[in-house]
Structure 1
């Protein structure tokens, strides 16, 4: 299938379920707006994505007390079907459908895949509660929505590796959205949208294809610039103190270096 064929399929799924998805988003909007949709793509396409997902040896490891996962934005190094599916979510019809579901305007996809692309998490890997960086790489547009498409077949509840939303802060219980096969999750990103990925609990890869949509205005009127900010989980009080200090230090650096000390390497460097 071509990008246009896949994007048309996604569009029709969103259109068919628009009422339910919009209700889900607006009920959750006062804290962290989100919706999720299953069976987003034909099963054979989703299975192909899983089968042809790159091995971790062909991805970049991000490992610290904040996170532990493999990522890649250099899509031309991987099978073309993965790039086709990823950019199908950036088709104008799909973007407009998501716009309408969330009651937003003028969302813009990110062709450079700044912090988007592919991610893989194996046993014991995790992503601590965090707020995404508020802006794009050039600090011109506000990050607005995160689109997560899961492609690992037969991913079950007791596998771990699930998306967690913390609408009442990281001291309370999170909302858990399972990383089910062929599921799309769309969530708002702003200064209150704390989210995480629980540790993977078995020897199996949890694979995800992700996109971000950006906007000229923030989702929250009082939102301010912030770097990616991490916190400890409720059972990690010492780690929480360290990560809070880490975030304050990195924010201090950004007061003097608007775009950071060094350029984030996680972008798609396309051939001329």
Structure 2
């Protein structure tokens, strides 16, 4: 925790950074979000196959458009991290043609401002209203998080995420995904799939369209991914902002995966 506090104290605050939108104090209406998230708590908790919510039009339209306009296509090339990984055994991939940018200081200003707000106390309070999980902590390291981009042919095998932050020894509790794909077509695939603990199916499928947000609870059986190769044209990418939230309290149950990701094979009927 001391490392985490030192990191936060060293980070520039939003007040230190010129705002992209000078006519508003924040990009998000945090009080409105807290109220709306509170009203969605029962839906979130009851949703199957595990607690989650899908929210369309999450950001104001002008903020969503600014994210598209400022997307760092050629910016900070050296900071993009390759995320292609093969199966531990076999010839396949668990993650293919994916890269991500986690260095917030290398991001365009609207991304810095938005991620700062999504990691702020105001948004953490709203997440508590939505999920019922108290004392949430954001991650200034953006471990595994940041801006994600997947090219044609790319995929992410179904998996349950690592349970512990390897640097701060925090328990991972929530995933936040915000999609940045204008005019994304159904036939391109790339649906986020949410699977039940037994991997029986059918999964819940979520098309990654612009300004659609997905929030879900991280557990040993919150299986998710987009396991089928993307069929988008060359030069079109499946883009998102991904953030993860933690607590420093022990879980009610001890998760078996610790720092490891639990990969799952699709049932035969869902492999094509």
Q: In the TM superposition, what is the alpha-carbon distance from 1:139 to its structure 2 partner?
A: 5.4
Q: In the TM superposition, what is the alpha-carbon distance from 1:28 to its structure 2 partner?
A: 2.4
Q: Return the alpha-carbon distance in structure 2 between the equivalents of residues 161 and 115 of structure 1.
A: 19
**Partners of 2:55 and 2:212 within 8 A in 1:** yes
SS of residue matched to 1:227 = coil
Which of 104, 124, 131 is the matching residue for 1:95?
A: 124
**Partners of 2:165 and 2:259 within 8 A in 1:** no
In the other structure, the counterpart of 2:15 is none
In the other structure, the counterpart of 1:201 is 231
In the other structure, the counterpart of 1:5 is 26
In the other structure, the counterpart of 1:43 is 61
Q: Return the alpha-carbon distance in structure 2 between the equivalents of residues 146 and 218 of structure 1.
A: 18
Q: In the TM superposition, what is the alpha-carbon distance from 1:14 to its structure 2 partner?
A: 4.7
Structure 2 residue 221 is matched with structure 1 residue 181 = no
Q: Return the alpha-carbon distance in structure 1 between the equivalents of residues 268 and 70 of structure 2.
A: 37
Query: Where does structure 2 lack aligned partners over 5 or more consecutive residues?
Result: 1-20, 86-92
Query: Where does structure 1 lack aligned partners over 5 or more consecutive residues?
Result: 239-272
**Partners of 2:44 and 2:131 within 8 A in 1:** yes
Which of 47, 53, 71 is the matching residue for 2:71?
A: 53
Q: In the TM superposition, what is the alpha-carbon distance from 1:159 to its structure 2 partner?
A: 2.3
Distance 1:25 1:55, change over 3 A: same
Taking the TM superposition and a 5 Å limit, the aligned residue runs for 1:4-153 are 5-7=26-28, 9-16=29-36, 18-19=38-39, 21-28=40-47, 31-55=49-73, 58=77, 59-64=80-85, 65-68=93-96, 69-138=98-167, 140-153=169-182
Distance 1:17 1:231, change over 3 A: closer
Q: In the TM superposition, what is the alpha-carbon distance from 1:60 to its structure 2 partner?
A: 2.1
Q: Return the alpha-carbon distance in structure 2 between the equivalents of residues 120 and 78 of structure 1.
A: 14
Q: Return the alpha-carbon distance in structure 2 between the equivalents of residues 4 and 102 of structure 1.
A: 26
Distance 1:237 1:104, change over 3 A: closer
Q: In the TM superposition, what is the alpha-carbon distance from 1:18 to its structure 2 partner?
A: 3.2
TM-superposition CA deviations, 1:95-137 (whole Å, max 9, x none):
1111111111101111111111010112111100111111112
Q: Return the alpha-carbon distance in structure 2 between the equivalents of residues 212 and 17 of structure 1.
A: 17
Q: In the TM superposition, what is the alpha-carbon distance from 1:230 to its structure 2 partner?
A: 1.4
Q: Return the alpha-carbon distance in structure 2 between the equivalents of residues 155 and 104 of structure 1.
A: 33
RMSD (Å), alpha carbons: 2.5
SS of residue matched to 1:5 = coil
TM-superposition CA deviations, 1:22-74 (whole Å, max 9, x none):
12211127x52101211111111111112222227822221121102111101
Q: After alignment, is 137-146 or 114-123 more displaced?
A: 137-146
Q: TM-score, normalising length from structure 2?
A: 0.78
TM-superposition CA deviations, 1:220-268 (whole Å, max 9, x none):
5242425112122224999xxxxxxxxxxxxxxxxxxxxxxxxxxxxxx
Q: Return the alpha-carbon distance in structure 2 between the equivalents of residues 42 and 56 of structure 1.
A: 25
**Partners of 1:164 and 1:195 within 8 A in 2:** yes
Q: Return the alpha-carbon distance in structure 2 between the equivalents of residues 81 and 174 of structure 1.
A: 34
